[in-house]
Amino acid sequence: MPKKILIADDEPTVVALARQKLEEQGYEVKTARNGKEAWDIMQNGPVDLVVTDVVMPVMDGVDLYKEIKKDPRLADIPIVIITDNRIFRESFQTLGVEHFLPKPLDSEKLVHKVEYIFTCAELERKNKQALILGANPDVNKDMVRIFQEQGCIVGTSTDPIEFISNCLILLPRAVMIDVLVKGDVPSRDIIRALRCFTRLSSMDILVFTQFAPEDIGSMQGIEELRQAKNDCMEAGATKYIGRFTPATFWEMVKDKIN
C-alpha cells in the first residue's frame, strides 16, 4: 500500500509540481490550500506524512501543527515545514520540528526529504525488536500477536542457549523471560548470563509468569513463584510485570519498547 502524503500550501502551481513528482515515485498525495482544509482531510482518513507551508489563509501552518500534536491519533505523524524564514524555522524547532524545506518548494528536494523520513522510520521500526523466552507456546503466541499489532518485530524461543545467542545477534530493545522457565538453565542464570555481555548491559529484561495464584494450587507453588521472581530481580532483571494477560500486556511493556 503506498504511503500517503498531505501537502498544505496556497500556491497551486508549486503544489501541482510537487504532487506530480511524488506520484511518479509511487506515493499517494492529497493537497490542501490552507491548514483548515488539511485538518479536515486528516479527520477523514490517516496520512503518513504532512508537508505544510507556514503562512496560509484560514488556518496557518503553526495552528495546523498544534492541532495535529494535540490529537493522540495524529501526534506521531512526521511533519515537514516549508519556510525560508529563520525566525519561523527557529520557532518550529523549539516546538520539536526536525524537518524543513526552503521556499519556494523544490520538488526534487521534497522527494529526497520524504524518502529520508520514511527510511529513518523504517529503520527505527525494525529496531523495535523483542525476544520472548517462555515455556507455554500459547502464551508466547499471544505475546507475539500483541507485539506485531504494535508494529514490533518479535521472536520466541523455548531454549535458553538459543535465546541468549539470539540476544547477542539481534540486540533487541527488550526481552521477556518467564520466571519459571524449566530445564537445566533456570531464569535467574539466563539473566546473569545476559548481563555478563557489555553489549546487553542496558537491555531491558522483563520477567513475567503465566500463572495466577489460583492456578498454582498450593502454598509451596506460590512460594516457588515468589522466590523465582526475587531471584530474577537480583540477577539483573529490569522489571517484574506479573502475570501475563493479553488485556494489560502492552501497557506494561510499551515504555520499554518504544
Where are the chain's structural domains?
A: 4-125, 127-257
Query: Which of 72, 71, 171, 49 is closest to 122 using CA atoms?
Result: 49
Mean pLDDT to the nearest integer, 74-100: 91
Omega cis (within 30) before 72? no
pLDDT class of 206 with cuts at 50, 70, 90: very high
pLDDT class of 181 with cuts at 50, 70, 90: confident
What is the torsion angle, in degrees rounded to the nearest 10, for the CA atoms of residue 37, residue 39, residue 43 and residue 45? 80
Can you point out the beta strands (E) in 98-234?
99-101, 129-133, 153-157, 174-178, 204-209
Task: Examine domains 4-125 and 127-257 and report if their fold is the same.
Answer: yes
pLDDT above 80: residue 215? no
Q: Return d(Cα 69, Cα 72) in angstroms, integer.
A: 7
Domain 4-125: which CATH number of 3.40.50.2300, 3.40.640.10, 3.50.50.60, 3.65.10.10 = 3.40.50.2300
pLDDT tens-digit series, residues 143-174: 999 998 888 888 888 788 889 988 988 888 89
For domain 127-257, the CATH superfamily is Response regulator (3.40.50.2300)
| 63 within 8 A of 36, measured Cβ to Cβ | no
Contacts 24+ apart (CB under 8 A), 91-95: 91/62, 92/62, 92/65, 95/65, 95/69
Q: Which three cell numbers stand for residue 75?
A: 501526534
